[in-house]
């Protein structure tokens, strides 16, 4: 239902408020929700440039009972930033300053709208890097990464984005300005509100400033590709490498179908076989690490394992970054369904990959599988003709069965994309009713009027309601 949002024009200058259709529609679809018709067009888009403006808009939104959906680069794939109840979309991309680089402390303060790769450009001269970013780091923002607790290819060595956040400034759902965390690298002082904000998908507060920890750029890098005759061999080799303690910085699985899709769309010459892309980072002793990895891959019948310096592997990572687009473009008659993003304990990874493939065969569907395998992350999707209801139904079964299996073996329904609108049905199944009720109470504490990004996360909101605490 549309809302009267004219009050925002009294809070921000005219060039940072838009009721125009083009601006509103641009903020009504992310990289998945638009494809499947989820979400609605906001009534207005605003671009605050300061914490005080963010707070003023949220306070007024409370007064008028109007939803506020934080929006950054809109690269989410679960409808996370797409409004469900119209209202105000708050685009944070004009708050994109690098505020303070403190190389002696390995730290940087940034505004939330800064693009991930811009942070690395700003700190590179100091020999520093923000090491844990999603494959979309050239497109997506630090605020969006924090809100989704994004992670990516380097998570196997460096952890998630959230592991590198020391402190935050946040505007709560009632428009209060709060700081949490500190510049110290550890703290046992009070509840850890930083970690609470990380992964909260804009439902608890709007991040307006972040203090990030940095790492040194490694002195040595090697990278390359290992080809296997069999998908089981490849996934078992990854499991074996990780459990044996090979110090990999990236280790990605690409199945033969995904390789064919890359070749068709990206004009790459990948072999028509399952393979692993791998990268090593170290300050010394890197060749020993590569040799250790080679021994393990050979034990799993690797057909070919080529490793070069870091630069020589750059092309492989470009292919990996583009893989999602290759899947989308593979066949004009087939659409990739819901983007699968399960993550399981590493010992469960090879059977899960096998299971996804078997499901594809059983339901006669193409199911490309790839992912940040070193942390047990599997991306998969069923390719379906949207005009064929039976095929779509089979695709849904494949999608859900893999999530169910991941949960059964102690994994999660989403390793990095978040719940958004797409995974609400799994939240309670993963965490149980008691934990989800505690989440609701946390939501109530930070955002008692359910103003911030309503319609996301909670199972009942998937039915079309807002979390109305007073009615509960
Ligand atoms: C090609 C491609 C590759 C991808 N690869 C990966 C990957 O490897 N790993 C991964 O984790 N994800 C990946 N993603 C998903 C997505 O890019 C990430 O989740 C990213 O962090 C989203 O950032 P964004 O700036 O686009 O945020 P948006 O999509 O705009 O917003 C994300 C969420 O954050 C909230 N939000 C935004 N800004 C703020 C703020 N300042 N305060 C509070 N809440 C806020 C929004 O309401 C929304 O819930 C990929 C996406 C694409 C399109």
Band of pLDDT at residue 408, cut at 50, 70 and 90: very high
Task: Please say if the pLDDT value at position 471 is more than 70.
Answer: no
**Residues 33-70: tens digit of each pLDDT:** 777 788 999 999 999 999 999 999 999 999 999 999 99
CA gap 454, 452 in Å, rounded: 6
> What are phi and psi for residue 71, nearest 5 degrees?
-140, 135
Which is the closest atom of ligand 1 to the Cα of 322? 1
Q: Residue 94: its pLDDT value, please?
A: 98
CA gap 258, 393 in Å, rounded: 23
Residue 168 CB–ligand 1 contact under 6 Å = no
Of the candidates 90, 97, 66, which has an alpha carbon nearest to the alpha carbon of residue 17?
90
275 with 226: CB under 8 angstroms? Answer: yes
**Residues 307-334: tens digit of each pLDDT:** 998 777 888 999 999 998 999 999 999 9
Band of pLDDT at residue 357, cut at 50, 70 and 90: very high
Strands, E assignment, 103-239:
107-110, 128-129, 165-172, 177-181, 205-213, 215-216, 220-227
**Distances from the Cα of 48 to the Cαs of 22, 43, 322, in angstroms?**
19, 16, 32
Structure tokens at 269: 């010459």
CA gap 290, 222 in Å, rounded: 8
Q: Residue 472: its pLDDT value, please?
A: 44
Task: For residue 347, give the DSSP letter.
Answer: G
- Ligand 1 centre distance from Cα of residue 153 (Å): 15
Residue 341 CB–ligand 1 contact under 6 Å = no
**Residues 161-192: tens digit of each pLDDT:** 999 999 999 999 999 999 999 999 999 999 99
CA gap 101, 449 in Å, rounded: 37
Spell out the alpha helix ranges (H) of 139-228. 142-148, 155-158, 193-197
For residue 401, the SS3 value is helix
For residue 436, the SS3 value is helix
Which is the closest atom of ligand 1 to the Cα of 113? 41
Protein residue with its CA nearest to atom 17 in ligand 1: 75
- Ligand 1 centre distance from Cα of residue 168 (Å): 17
CA gap 434, 441 in Å, rounded: 11
CA gap 205, 184 in Å, rounded: 23
- Ligand 1 centre distance from Cα of residue 297 (Å): 34
CA gap 331, 336 in Å, rounded: 10
**Residues 116-167: tens digit of each pLDDT:** 999 999 999 999 999 999 999 999 999 999 999 999 999 999 999 999 999 9
Structure tokens at 300: 């799993």
Q: Residue 469: its pLDDT value, please?
A: 72
Structure tokens at 198: 């990380």
281 with 269: CB under 8 angstroms? Answer: no
Of the candidates 316, 344, 204, which has an alpha carbon nearest to the alpha carbon of residue 250?
316
CA gap 151, 160 in Å, rounded: 5
**Distances from the Cα of 194 to the Cαs of 35, 39, 171, 186, 323, in angstroms?**
33, 28, 13, 12, 32
Between vectors from CA 203 to CA 202 and to CA 209, what angle results, nearest 5°? Answer: 40
Residue 135 CB–ligand 1 contact under 6 Å = yes
CA gap 78, 354 in Å, rounded: 25
- Ligand 1 centre distance from Cα of residue 206 (Å): 14
113 with 53: CB under 8 angstroms? Answer: no
> 394: buried, middle or exposed (CB in 10 Å: 19+, 13-18, 0-12)?
buried
Which is the closest atom of ligand 1 to the Cα of 325? 1
Q: Residue 470: its pLDDT value, please?
A: 59
If one residue of 49, 88, 112, 143 were mutated to test the ligand 1 pocket, choosing by the most ligand atoms within 8 A of its CB, it would be 143
Structure tokens at 375: 């942390």
């Amino acid at each position: 239902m549309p809302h009267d949002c004219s009050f925002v024009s009294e809070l921000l200058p005219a060039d940072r408020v838009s009721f125009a259709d083009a601006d509103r529609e641009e903020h009504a679809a992310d990289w998945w929700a638009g494809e499947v018709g989820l979400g609605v067009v906001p009534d207005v888009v605003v671009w605050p440039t300061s914490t005080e403006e963010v707070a003023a808009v949220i306070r007024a939104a409370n007064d008028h009972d109007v939803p506020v959906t934080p929006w950054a680069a809109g690269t989410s794939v679960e409808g996370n930033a797409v409004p469900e109840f119209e209202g105000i979309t708050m685009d944070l991309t004009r708050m994109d300053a690098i505020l303070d680089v403190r190389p002696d402390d390995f730290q940087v303060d940034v505004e939330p709208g800064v693009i991930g790769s811009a942070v690395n450009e700003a700190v590179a001269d100091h020999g520093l890097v923000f090491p844990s970013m999603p494959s979309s780091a050239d497109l997506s923002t630090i605020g969006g990464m924090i809100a989704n607790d994004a992670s990516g290819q380097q998570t196997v060595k460096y952890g998630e984005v959230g592991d590198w956040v020391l402190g935050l400034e946040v505007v709560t759902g009632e428009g209060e300005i709060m700081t949490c965390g500190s510049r110290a690298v550890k703290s046992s002082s009070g509840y850890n509100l930083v970690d609470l904000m990380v992964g909260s998908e804009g439902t608890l507060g709007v991040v307006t400033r972040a203090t990030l920890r940095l790492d040194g750029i490694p002195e040595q890098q090697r990278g390359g590709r290992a080809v296997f005759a069999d998908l089981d061999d490849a996934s078992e080799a990854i499991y074996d490498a990780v459990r044996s303690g090979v110090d990999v910085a990236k280790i990605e699985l690409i199945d033969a179908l995904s390789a064919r899709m890359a070749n068709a769309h990206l004009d790459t010459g990948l072999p028509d076989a399952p393979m692993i892309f791998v990268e090593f980072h170290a300050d010394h002793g890197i060749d020993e690490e590569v040799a250790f990895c080679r021994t393990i891959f050979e034990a799993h019948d690797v057909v070919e394992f080529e490793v070069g310096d870091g630069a020589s592997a750059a092309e492989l990572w470009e292919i990996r970054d583009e893989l999602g687009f290759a899947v989308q473009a593979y066949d004009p008659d087939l659409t990739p369904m819901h983007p699968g993003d399960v993550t399981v304990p590493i010992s469960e990874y090879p059977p899960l990959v096998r299971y996804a493939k078997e499901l594809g065969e059983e339901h006669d569907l193409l199911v490309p599988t790839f992912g940040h395998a070193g942390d047990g992350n599997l991306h998969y999707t069923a390719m379906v003709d949207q005009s064929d209801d039976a095929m779509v139904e089979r695709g849904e079964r494949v999608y859900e069965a893999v999530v169910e299996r991941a949960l059964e073996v102690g994994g999660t329904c989403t390793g990095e994309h978040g719940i958004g609108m797409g995974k609400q049905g799994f939240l309670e199944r993963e965490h149980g009713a008691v934990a989800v009720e505690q989440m609701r109470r946390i939501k109530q504490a930070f955002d008692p009027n359910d103003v911030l990004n309503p319609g996301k996360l909670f199972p009942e909101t998937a039915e079309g309601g807002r979390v109305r605490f007073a009615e509960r």
